[in-house]
Amino acid sequence: MNQPTARDTWHARAADRISAGIDGRLLIDGHRYHAVDGRCFDCVSPLDGKVIARVARGQAADVDLAVASARAAFADGRWSARSPAARKKVLLAFAERIRAAREELALLETLDMGKPIAAALSADVPGTARCIQWYAEAVDKVYGEIAPTGRDALALVSREPVGVVGAIVPWNYPLLMTSWKLGPALAAGNSVVLKPSERSPLSALRLAELALEAGLPEGVFNVVPGFGAEAGEALALHMDVDAIGFTGSTRTGRRMLEYAGRSNLKRVFNELGGKSANIVFADFEDLDRAAATAAGAMFYNQGESCNAPSRLLVQDSIADAFVERLAALAPGYAPGDPLDPTTRLGALVDAQQTATVMEYIQSGLQQGARCVAGGEQVLQDTGGQFVAPTVFDGVDNTMRIAREEIFGPVLSVIRFSTEQEALRIANDSSYGLHAAVWTRGLDRAVRVSRALHAGTVHVNEYDEDDITVPFGGVKQSGNGRDKSLHALDKYSELKTTWMRIDPA
């Protein structure tokens, strides 16, 4: 008899996990509950179109309970009044629990939103644990200030938690995006109510259980799954939520600002979409490396990354050779079974996303771009959602596939002749998340990175990323910065205390 393959093993684990029942109930005040009105929605796996769980469909009444629980926890100081060193201890234990549950969390993530199990195991889960650990370790090293006043007074500037933080996150990196809000918010002493995406609610619920197991007090981290227009809106409009950490589309980010204006003027931090420009100049001679990085970064996570380098700007003289390499590389990212550890490109999150991506591919063709790789839906017999990695050449920056975020494995190649033209095209976008420049000229590297209107600029690479540096955009890519010590600013208030010093 043949030995089971690693793929067989993951399928067997998936079958066991689903048949054991995945708990889709809310987590409020440390306990699992059905929604107040008892409603649920189906959680459908994009691997095969099958229902893998029934998830509570949170509404305003559930959000009220979650916010009340978070507020009570904040007010009685069970977390907020603990010393930074004490919070650190619990958060370090939380990070360890996440590491210990690596395979279970990775499996939930893959089943729920379709990313390859290898990526979930090697990037999403360890990245989540590292984020929580990093903020745990940071929080007892952040000092307040003593202002340089005269001798007759003492002015202290201290950091205080903001209170109840609402976190609303998308489905493309469900665990990671949650950790980017949760790590700094909890470390700073806040209570959190999380609304995961209705397209990927499962891992967040498990994460909250792990936090409880690690010793996070009940009520400090609550999870209300549900739809954006229901639970999401109720959370963002809530009068007793002090800040919203939002990651998602620009369309919804706009609403977050409206909700704040219509309610209590809560702080809103938006991490939104992107259409990042990756500029390759002819003086960068290693076309193989530049092309491999362009393809790898574009097709990672099925192209469902906010910072995907989805506009590739290539200088005329090398454009043919570059596009040839991209077309040759694309089949290496052919979609496969996400539970097979050798798969590099998995399933799109759901049928709606496949339809969106296919509609953009049609629009590219209709507007005159030339499809040199992919362009079709594949593996339909699986019942899952798979689109071949697609490369368009001859794209003009006015086409929809150059202006709008597709959020799928579709790369648009735009040719340019001069540095000025490249910069004009790169900055001609409503987004400003990431950008890259490939050149051997130091002057050009500095000049172009300075002129690119983006939150992050890469020079001769696109892969670097770390919890130590801020992540976020300019223009309609948002205003928040996740990660790094700067994220603590979002979840803490600066308080000034003046003291009069009488002369002796």
Question: What amino acid positions are annotated as catalytic residues?
Answer: 271, 306
Q: Tell me how far apart the alpha carbons of residues 430 and 446 are, in angstroms, rounded to a whole number.
A: 23
Residue 195 lies near ligand NAD (rule: CB under 6 A): yes
Where would I find the beta strands (DSSP E) of 345-471?
A: 370-373, 377-378, 386-387, 390-393, 410-416, 431-432, 434-438, 456-459
| Axis-axis angle for helices 287-299, 316-329 (nearest 10) | 50
For position 146 contacting ligand NAD by CB under 6 A, the verdict is no
Q: Residue 434, interface with ligand NAD (CB under 6 A)?
A: no
Residue 295 CB: number of other CB atoms within 10 A?
25
What is the nearest approach in angstroms of ligand NAD to the Cβ of residue 255? 5
CB of 123 to ligand NAD, least distance (A): 14
Minimum distance from CB of 433 to ligand NAD (Å)?
Answer: 6
Binding to ligand NAD by residue 165, rule CB under 6 A?
Answer: no
Q: Which stretch binds ligand NAD (CB under 6 A): 35-43, 133-141, 164-172, 334-342?
A: 164-172
Q: How far is the CB of 313 from ligand NAD (least distance, A)?
A: 20
- CB closer to ligand NAD out of 273 and 364: 273
Which of 32-40, 153-161, 272-280, 363-371 is the region at the interface with ligand NAD (rule: CB under 6 A)? 272-280
174 binds ligand NAD (CB under 6 A): no
> By the 8 A CB rule, do 170 and 115 touch?
no
Residue 12 phi/psi, 5-degree rounding, is -65, -40
The sign one gets for the Cα dihedral 295, 410, 227, 32 is negative
| Tokens at 30, concatenated | 């440390």
130, 255, 266, 481: residue in contact with ligand NAD (rule CB under 6 A): 255
Minimum gap (Å) between residue 194 Cβ and ligand NAD: 9
419 binding ligand NAD? (CB under 6 A): no
Q: Which of residues 436-475 bind ligand NAD (CB under 6 A)?
A: 471, 473
Q: Is 328 one of the binding residues for ligand NAD (CB under 6 A)?
A: no
The least CB distance from residue 242 to ligand NAD, in Å, is 17
Give the x/- contact pattern for ligand NAD in 296-315, rule: CB under 6 A.
----------x---------
State the number of CA atoms in the 13 A half-sphere of 287 facing the CB: 17
Closest to ligand NAD by CB, 439 or 477 = 477
Neighbours of 25 (CB within 10 A): 17
Q: For the CB of residue 171, give the shortest distance to ligand NAD in the complex, in Å.
A: 5
Query: Cα–Cα distance between 159 and 494 in angstroms, integer?
Result: 5
212 burial class (0-12, 13-18, 19+ CB within 10 angstroms)?
middle
Select the residue interacting with ligand NAD from 360, 407, 438, 462 (CB under 6 A).
407
Q: Alpha-carbon distance 487 to 187, whole Å?
A: 11
CB of 245 to ligand NAD, least distance (A): 11
Closest Cα to residue 169, out of 249, 243, 229? 249
Kindly indicate which of the ranges 396-404, 434-442, 476-484, 487-495 contains the residues binding ligand NAD, using the contact rule CB under 6 A: 476-484
Among the listed residues 65, 132, 168, 391, the single contact to ligand NAD using CB under 6 A: 168
Exposure b/e, 476-493, CB count within 10 A at least 16 = b: bbbbbbbbbeebbbbbbe
Size of the site for ligand NAD (CB under 6 A): 33
Closer to ligand NAD at the Cβ: 172 or 315? 172
Q: Residue 177, interface with ligand NAD (CB under 6 A)?
A: yes
Count of positions (residues) in the chain: 504
**Of 163 and 170, CB closest to ligand NAD:** 170
Query: Measured between alpha carbons, how far is 299 from 194 in angstroms, rounded to an integer?
Result: 29
Among residues 127, 273, 309, 338, the one that binds ligand NAD under rule CB under 6 A: 273
DSSP secondary structure of 396-416: -TTSHHHHS---SSEEEEEEE
Does residue number 170 form part of the binding site for ligand NAD (CB under 6 A)? Answer: yes
Helix (H, G, I), strand (E, B) or coil at 360: helix
Structure tokens at 170: 């998308």
Contact flag: residue 26 with ligand NAD (CB under 6 A): no
The closest alpha carbon to 493, from 267, 329, 257, belongs to 267
Candidates 128, 179, 191, 197; binder of ligand NAD (CB under 6 A) is 197
Give the list of residues 6+ apart from residue 316 with CB closer than 8 angstroms, or none.
282, 415, 416, 417
Asked if 172 touches ligand NAD (CB under 6 A), the answer is: yes
429 binds ligand NAD, rule: CB under 6 A: no
Q: Is 271 in the site for ligand NAD (CB under 6 A)?
A: yes
x-marked contacts with ligand NAD along 210-249 as a string, rule CB under 6 A: -----------------xxx--xx--x----------xxx
| Rounded alpha-carbon distances, angstroms, from residue 308 to 34, 234, 363 | 37, 31, 20
CB 224 within 8 A of CB 58: yes
Q: Does 190 bind ligand NAD (CB under 6 A)?
A: no
Instruction: Specify the stretch interacting with ligand NAD by CB under 6 A; choose among 130-138, 190-198, 309-317, 420-428.
Output: 190-198
List contacts with ligand NAD (CB under 6 A).
168-172, 177, 195, 197-198, 227-229, 232-233, 236, 247-249, 252, 255, 271-274, 306, 405, 407, 433, 471, 473, 477-478, 482
